[in-house]
Structure 1
Amino acid sequence: MFEIHLFGAVRVQAGGRCLSGRDFGGVKPRQILALLALRGNLGKSELADLLWQGSPPANHVATLESYVSVLRRRLEPSGSARHSVIITRTGGYALDADRVRTDVRRFDQLLAAAAGRSAVRALPPLRAAVRIGREPLLTEEPYADWAVEARERYRNRLVEAKLACARHALDLGDAGEARDLVNRALRLDPLAERGWYLRMAAHRAAGDRAAALRAYEECRRILDEHLGVEPSEELRQLFLDLLREDGPAGGVEAAVAAIRAAAHELALVGDLRAVGEGAGSTAWRVVQLLTRATELADSPGRPVLSAAN
């Protein structure tokens, strides 16, 4: 049985041997193995088109066949082409499904196994999928279009797996695991709003209201800088619920962030043109909030005010 790993650097485990790097006989043989593991049966023309980025050489068929021959010998030094794990199909090649297991296929199977299940039943396969995806896909192929596309596809799937895992962990009362998973997901995709919602919810469940408020402000800043948009209504509602909760925000830094965020939210929903209406107008309230935030930021030794005041 051949175990082919595509997360991280390409490597193969078989018969007590482990092949990686130069063991495959060159870059092109290694890429052929990765493509067959990713895409299954591939015709020679399609495989050549992928290998040479749409511009295969005139003699690409013979060259491709020589690369496959090299790869077969490296995978099975004492084997024959007829019984190779790389099967010759009409006009192309495929891996022998009865003799090959790949980590990407296992990753996909684990996600499918978790879909639609309760938190208790979904967590084990999701955790296993997250462990498989510890490294980015195909790290030795930074530029090939097919590798970039596959890496992005599995990065998105991994983000979804981590967020689903975090949601289930939160449902089962494990705010610490949920927070760790969300943080790892947001490092991969800082624009994932669902991740920010879960980060806020995890901090809230852990009793850290200040961190939850800071997370909203960080999310708002990142979305504005990268996309020019505001957080979703769901995120804003969670933020407002946190502001309404009793008790201090949890420190000067948290209070400043919360007050500035509150001013921003008020400016979004209010009429800032009514500046001349004096105390009680939206503009007046925004100015008061920003002034309070500035005072707190400049005087960290002052008593902390509730962010809801």
Structure 2
Amino acid sequence: MYEIQLFGSTRVRSGAAALSGRDFGGVKPRQILALLALRGALPKDELAELLWFGRPPANHVATLESYVSVLRRRLDPRGSARRSVILTRNGGYRLDGDRVSVDVARFDALLAAAAGRGPSQALPPLRAALTLVNEPLLVDEPSAGWAVDARERYRKRIVDALLGTATHTLAVGDAPAALEFATRALRWDPLAERGWYLRIAAHKADGDRAAALGAYDECRRLLGQELGVEPSVKLRDLFLDLLRQDQPAGCVDGVVAAIRAMARELASVGDLRAVGEGAGTSARRLAHLLTEATELADPPAPLSAVS
């Protein structure tokens, strides 16, 4: 049985043997293996188009066949072409599905098993899928167009899986796990608002208002710097709900008091004394939050009402 890993560097394990890097006999043999593992059966002409960026050489069929021969020998030095895990079929190649296991295929299957299920049923396959993806896809192929496209496609799938897992773990009352998965999602996509929402909600569920407020402030600054936008209404409502905890509903003074309490809490964990930012910057951040909280809690009356 051959286990092929495409998340991270391309690797193959078969029994006690393992192949990676130069073990495949060159860049092109390694890419052939990755393409067959990623896409399934491929005709020789299509495989050549992908390998040579749409400009295969005139003798590409013979060259491709020589690369496949090298790859077969590296995968099984004592085997014959007829017994190889790389099968020749219908003018192209494919991997022997009975003898090959690919991490990307397992990841896809586990996500499919979790789709449409409730938290308790979805979490086991989601957690299993996420154990496969500590690194981006195909890091050995930084510039090949087919690898770049696949890497971005799976990055989005990984973020969705992490956010779904965070949502489900929060629903079953496991706030620390929800925080872990939301934080992992934000490492893959720092601008994912849903990730920020889940991170803040997890801090809130865990009873850490200071961390929740700090996360909202970090999200607000990041969205402003990178996209020039404010947090969504849903995020701002969560922020305001945090400030209103233990305060009379609709009371602006209560919100202000909560902000001041947050300032003391943030100072107690060292936020306002952070050497990298300095007290001035932290004070300005707190002032922004105070202004926003006051506006959210008591928005100005429309002109029609004033007149």
TM-score range, shorter chain: 0.7 to 0.9
Task: Map 1:212-291 to 2 at 5 A.
Answer: 212-246=212-246, 248-249=261-262, 250-252=265-267, 253=271, 257=285, 259-264=287-292
Q: Deviation at 1:160? A: 1.3
Residue 168 of structure 1 pairs with residue 168 of structure 2: yes
Residue 198 of structure 1 pairs with residue 226 of structure 2: no
Q: Deviations over 1:152-178 (max 9, x none)?
A: 111111111111111111112211111
Q: In the aligned structure 2, how far is the partner of 1:54 from the partner of 1:261? A: 53
Q: Deviation at 1:179? A: 1.0
Shift in CA distance, 166/258, structure 1 to aligned 2, threshold 3 Å: farther
Shift in CA distance, 30/77, structure 1 to aligned 2, threshold 3 Å: same
Q: Deviation at 1:191? A: 0.7
SS at match of 1:58: coil
Q: In the aligned structure 2, how far is the partner of 1:109 from the partner of 1:239? A: 37
Question: Is the CA contact 1:214–1:258 (under 8 Å) kept in the aligned structure 2?
Answer: no
Q: Deviations over 1:201-221 (max 9, x none)?
A: 000011111111121121111
Shift in CA distance, 34/107, structure 1 to aligned 2, threshold 3 Å: same
Q: In the aligned structure 1, how far is the partner of 2:152 from the partner of 2:100? A: 24
Task: Map 1:1-309 to 2 at 5 A.
Answer: 1-246=1-246, 248-249=261-262, 250-252=265-267, 253=271, 257=285, 259-264=287-292
Shift in CA distance, 105/19, structure 1 to aligned 2, threshold 3 Å: same
The normalised TM-score by structure 2 is 0.83
Count the aligned residue pairs. 275
Q: Deviation at 1:265? A: 6.0
Instruction: Give the fraction of aligned pairs with identical amino acids, expressed as a percent.
Output: 64
Q: Deviation at 1:266? A: 5.6
Q: Deviation at 1:141? A: 1.1
Stretch deviating more after TM superposition (197-206 or 229-238): 229-238
Shift in CA distance, 192/207, structure 1 to aligned 2, threshold 3 Å: same
Q: Name the amino acid aligned to 1:157.
A: R
Stretch deviating more after TM superposition (129-138 or 195-204): 129-138
Aligned-pair RMSD on alpha carbons?
Answer: 2.3
Structure 2 unaligned regions, length at least 5: 247-257, 273-281
Q: In the aligned structure 2, how far is the partner of 1:91 from the partner of 1:176? A: 53
Q: Deviation at 1:261? A: 2.4
Q: In the aligned structure 1, how far is the partner of 2:62 from the partner of 2:224? A: 53
SS at match of 2:68: helix
Q: Deviation at 1:258? A: 5.4
Q: Name the amino acid aligned to 1:103.
A: D
Q: In the aligned structure 1, how far is the partner of 2:174 from the partner of 2:302? A: 46
Q: Deviation at 1:262? A: 4.2
Structure 1 unaligned regions, length at least 5: 275-280, 282-309
Q: Name the amino acid aligned to 2:156.
A: N
Q: Deviation at 1:82? A: 2.0
Q: Deviations over 1:123-164 (max 9, x none)?
A: 111111111001221111111111111111111111111111
Q: Name the amino acid aligned to 2:92.
A: G
Q: Deviation at 1:49? A: 1.1
SS at match of 2:131: helix
Q: Name the amino acid aligned to 1:137.
A: L
Q: Name the amino acid aligned to 1:261.
A: L
Shift in CA distance, 51/266, structure 1 to aligned 2, threshold 3 Å: farther
